[in-house]
Structure 1
Amino acid sequence: MGKIYHELLTKWWQLLQSFPVEQTAAEDVFWQLVAAYSTPGRYYHTLEHIYHVLSAIKTLQNQAQDLPAIQFAAWFHDVVYDTQAQDNEQQSASYAVEILSWLQIPHSIIARVASLILGTKHHQVEPDDFDAQVFLDADLEILGSNPQRYHQYALSIRQEYLWMPNVEYVTGRKQVLHQFLHRDRIYLTNLMFHKFESSARQNLQAEIMRLEQISPANQS
């Protein structure tokens, strides 16, 4: 994790270098984010997830119109994460607005960041909203990863819902997976679509099959 800390801190400074942010304030916010993403009960929605989202954004940056807003959204989009709550996206967006305002980031960027974060609730986007397409594709990069990494992701998500009985979890999780499979496209940018669409659909189908193999006797 030490390497990720270092690389994320570098990315944080690179993002802020275009803004007149006081160094101590910037450092304080970075460590607040580290603390938030390191809270107990997180197994997937951790700093590692933020690292991968930022890396995916970098590969898509040529398609971005407001790259700093997308990057800020990546940092803040899961800062509030409670699997028993229904308003994580709203809470994370509000937190981002508060902190970025304190850092004196321009209001236009802050508004865009909030909008991007709120878009992760349903992962729906307007056809001409290229920044949202980049951000959402980066957030879903894991779906098209190699089968081993995807399987670990699926296990980590289950750990975040350990409070939920198997029968309830299986039903809800399958519903989410089928919603993605029923879309014309999981990935909205052409780069991610051509690179990951096929493997993502295979991964989702494989997880559904694993969920269906959970016997009724274990669903408690």
Structure 2
Amino acid sequence: MGKATLLNQGRWAELLREFGIEGEAATFEALIAAYTQKHRHYHTVKHLEHCLREFDSARELAGEPAEVELALWFHDAVYETRASNNEERSADWACELLNRHGVEPARVERVRALIMATRHEAPATTPDSQLLVDVDLSILGADEVTYAEFEKNVRQEYFWVPSILFRRKRAEILESFLARPQIYNTPPFHARLEAPARRNLTAAISGLRR
């Protein structure tokens, strides 16, 4: 994870104190173990750390920053490419932690909703979910080399899907983002990433549809 990693127990403990929770080093270790599973190529600790770094750059936009950050820690905690309920199971894990420590039900449900927003089935509707989704999708606006690596890693995670089917389904997913009036909803992310994201998506779709 590197010497300067944001994925450290100090940060984790500080975050949990915002919910009135002490300890939970075992959950921290379990999360790191989940993000380092061998079948992951993009949805790894590198992705999680990138998300935390992006979030740190825009933390002031969050209404409930602790809830957004906790949702980021858990949003890909469960990741099985043959399953369709990864976000739900990830949200269940986060909510089990919060419920076990008696966190206010309204906060628990907000965290659940934030994690479920990363299904990306529709544009996010609340300010905190818009920030979370912008962070998660920031890879779409990366430089061309980084974006190409992202696509390669996603393909590796779906190695078991026949090429023709993968290319069609992947193109449909990317087209759904491109069809949105705007990919990024928060002003800083929109200003910085909207144009490069649209260039990356257009090029990727063209390659997939060949």
Which stretch shows the higher mean deviation, 57-66 or 135-144?
Answer: 57-66
Return the alpha-carbon distance in structure 1 between the equivalents of residues 102 and 47 of structure 2.
Answer: 26
Task: Say which of 154, 157, 160 aligns to 2:154.
Answer: 157
1:17 Cα deviation from its structure 2 partner: 3.4
2:16 alignment counterpart: 16
1:141 alignment partner in structure 2: 138
Q: Find the aligned partners of 1:57 and 1:65 in 2 and give their Cα distance.
A: 13
SS at match of 1:3: coil
Give structure 2 stretches of 5+ with no counterpart. none
The worse-fitting range, judged by mean Cα deviation, of 144-153 and 12-21 is 12-21
Cα pair 1:143 1:204 within 8 Å, conserved: yes
Q: d(CA) in 2 for partners of 1:117 and 1:123?
A: 13
Q: Residues 148-181 of structure 1, C-alpha deviation per residue, up to 9 Å, x if partnerless?
A: 1111000000000000000000000000011011
**Aligned counterparts of 1:110 and 1:123: Cα–Cα separation in 2:** 22
> Partners in 2 of 1:212 and 1:89 — Cα distance?
28
Residue 57 of structure 2 corresponds to 59
Number of paired residues? Answer: 208
Pairwise CA distance, 1:48: 1.0
Q: Whole-Å Cα distance in 1 between the matches of residues 15 and 197 of structure 2?
A: 30
Q: Work out whether residues 145 and 196 of structure 1, in 8 Å CA contact, stay in contact via their aligned partners in 2.
A: yes
Question: Matches of 1:81 and 1:8 in 2, distance apart?
Answer: 18
User: Offset of 1:105 from its aligned partner?
Assistant: 3.7
Shift of 1:76: 0.5
Based on CA coordinates, which of the two structures has the bigger radius of gyration? 1
CA contact (8 A) 2:87 2:118 kept: yes
Q: Is 1:203 the counterpart of 2:200 in the alignment? A: yes
Unaligned runs of 5+ in 1: 214-220
Q: Distance in 2 between matches of 1:140 and 1:14?
A: 26
- Per-residue CA deviation, residues 38-59 of structure 1 (Å, 9 max, x unaligned), is 1121001111111111111112
C-alpha deviation, 1:103, in angstroms? 4.2
Moved more, 115-124 or 37-46: 115-124
Query: What residue is the counterpart of 1:125 in the other structure?
Result: 124
Query: Do the aligned partners of 1:79 and 1:92 also contact (CA within 8 Å) in 2?
Result: yes
* Residue 20 (structure 1) shift: 3.6
- In the TM superposition, residue 104 of structure 1 has moved relative to its aligned partner by 4.2
**Alignment TM-score, normalising by the size of structure 1:** 0.89
Go from structure 1 to structure 2 and tell me whether the alpha carbon gap of 1:43 and 1:102 turns closer, same or farther (over 3 Å shift): same
Identity, % of aligned positions: 36
Contact 2:6 2:52 in 1 (8 A): no
Aligned residue type for 1:46:
T
**Aligned counterparts of 2:122 and 2:39: Cα–Cα separation in 1:** 24
Alignment of 1:38-49 (within 5 A): 38-49=36-47
Checking the alignment, whether the CA contact within 8 Å between 2:178 and 2:198 is kept in structure 1 is yes
Tell me if structure 2 keeps the 8 A contact 1:21–1:104: no
Q: Distance in 2 between matches of 1:100 and 1:34?
A: 18
C-alpha deviations, 1:110-144, integer Å up to 9, x for none? 21110111111114222xx1101110000001000
Q: Structure 1: how far apart are the matches of 2:40 and 2:99? A: 27
